[in-house]
Amino acid sequence: MLLVSHETSPLIEICTQKKLDLVKIYQLSTAFEIAKKISFQKQKSYTRFIVRLSIAATAISVAAILLTLSIVNGFQESIAGKVYSFWGQIRISSVSGEPLLHNQQTIHAIEQLPNVKSVTPFITQSTVLSYGQEIEGVMAKGNPSEVPIPFLSKGNKIRTSSNDSINNQIIISDILATKLNIPLDSFVRLYFINNGAVQQRKLKVVGFYHSGMDDYDKQFVLMDLKNLQQISKAPNYVEGYTISLVSNESIDATNDSLQKMLPENWVATTISNYYPQIFDWIGVQTINRNVTVTILLIIAIVNLLTCLFILMLERIPMIGTLTAMGAGQNLIRQIFLYQASFICWMGIGIGAFIGIGIGLLQQQFGFIQLDEAAYFIKALPIKMNLLQIGMVIIGTALVSYVSFLIPTLWIKKISPAKAVQFN
């Protein structure tokens, strides 16, 4: 009798484990080779059509998901960015609605916050714009003359004035210019009513702006802050401050930090509270995006499952033969999982190429145009996010792999004796 000592038993265990590992590797290699042969060999016409249809459907779903995410990202960023360009992400005003005494110390402290990009004082006042025989009620918005003009489409920005001088220049929208037939470098008159008295200003039109948002373009004209301060006879007062941020990710947190350091009667409010209709519309796009992506993902998965079921039905004789030869269910399951993987990854790869390609072309050339009056944007906006692209590719693959396990459970119900006779 051969005796096995305690010293040799660990060696036997190691050898046994290595043998099992080699068997597993061999099974995986065998399953991969069989799946490759049955996937890429010349197939029957209907089988080839089903496979190609599945690859095409998966590719279309992935491309549509990527484009949906990119378009929604683009819309949200573009629309919000236009509002932020006018008013910043946060506005500071008084609780009572009275003008604020300019407090340079507080402004300097606000500028030190890590997410604050700039602090800009402003005044708005209703007025009547007159040119020749044409008049139009508008809102004059005053900013310091050194502040960049958003969406300037023609002409120059307002010339920077010295500490004591007042700049008699104005910028209007191209919509107002067209409506009132106002050419560039012409002079217009603004009529203000303060305390029952009418004050008149003659200003030179030095530029046109175009934001694409008709509610703004028809309403606002831009001029020097000092001019409006002189009209209101309050040179040290402003209506409020617009706060532009470095990042939009932490608007609420920055707003809370601002509120804690503001003087009494000063209040910080996010701009979304001033224009809820616009930001509610932006929020609805997120819901639409999630619903669309979910539907497309379900379509892709159902399509792949259907394809795998058809391929398994076609290979019932092969399943029976392999079972009769001693192949385990795991080996047969791995064969079909590999075959489904080929189809899945081909579809994902083609879909990612198409989706990213169309997105990049739209970003570069803007060939898909929109009705600016309805969407506030001329060209379909695209913003591609590498993290989202990776999540779509990996997420689609993971969900597909989990789904592939469902049809392979049917393998154990196949009888070898009947399967080899299946026609």
- For the chain, the domains span 38-79+280-419, 97-264
User: Angle 78-90-258 (CA atoms, 0-180°, nearest 5)?
Assistant: 145
Query: Cα(171)–Cα(203) distance, rounded to whole angstroms?
Result: 9
Query: Cα(40)–Cα(48) distance, rounded to whole angstroms?
Result: 10
The pLDDT value recorded for residue 325 is: 66
Q: What is the pTM of this model?
A: 0.77
Average pLDDT value over all residues in the chain? 81
Query: Cα(62)–Cα(300) distance, rounded to whole angstroms?
Result: 8
Burial of 164 (0-12, 13-18, 19+ CB in 10 A): exposed
Which stretch of DSSP H or E encloses residue 279? helix 276-314
Where do the H-state alpha helices sit in 41-184? 45-87, 104-111, 174-180
Distance of alpha carbon 251 from the chain centroid: 17
* Percentages of the chain per state (helix, strand, coil), in multiples of 5: 55, 20, 25
Query: Cα(102)–Cα(160) distance, rounded to whole angstroms?
Result: 20
Which stretch of DSSP H or E encloses residue 204? strand 197-209
The pLDDT value recorded for residue 236 is: 86
The pLDDT value recorded for residue 41 is: 58
The answer to whether residues 115 and 248 touch, using CB atoms and an 8 Å cutoff, is no
Query: Cα(209)–Cα(152) distance, rounded to whole angstroms?
Result: 4
Query: Cα(167)–Cα(20) distance, rounded to whole angstroms?
Result: 86
What six digits make up the tokens of 30?
């065998």
The pLDDT value recorded for residue 5 is: 44
What six digits make up the tokens of 183?
């050419």
What six digits make up the tokens of 324?
């009769």
DSSP label at 263?
P
Torsion of CA 294, 295, 300, 304, to 10 degrees: 100
The answer to whether residues 122 and 242 touch, using CB atoms and an 8 Å cutoff, is yes
Give the SS3 label for residue 252: helix
Picking from 29, 18, 19, the residue whose alpha carbon sits closest to that of residue 334 is 29
- φ, ψ dihedrals at 27, nearest 5°: -65, -45
Query: Cα(9)–Cα(16) distance, rounded to whole angstroms?
Result: 10
What six digits make up the tokens of 258?
């601002």
Query: Cα(189)–Cα(191) distance, rounded to whole angstroms?
Result: 7
Mean pLDDT by runs of 10 across the 423 residues of the chain is 43 39 48 60 64 85 93 91 90 89 85 90 93 91 87 74 71 92 92 85 92 87 90 87 90 90 89 89 88 88 78 67 65 73 87 94 90 83 92 87 70 56 52
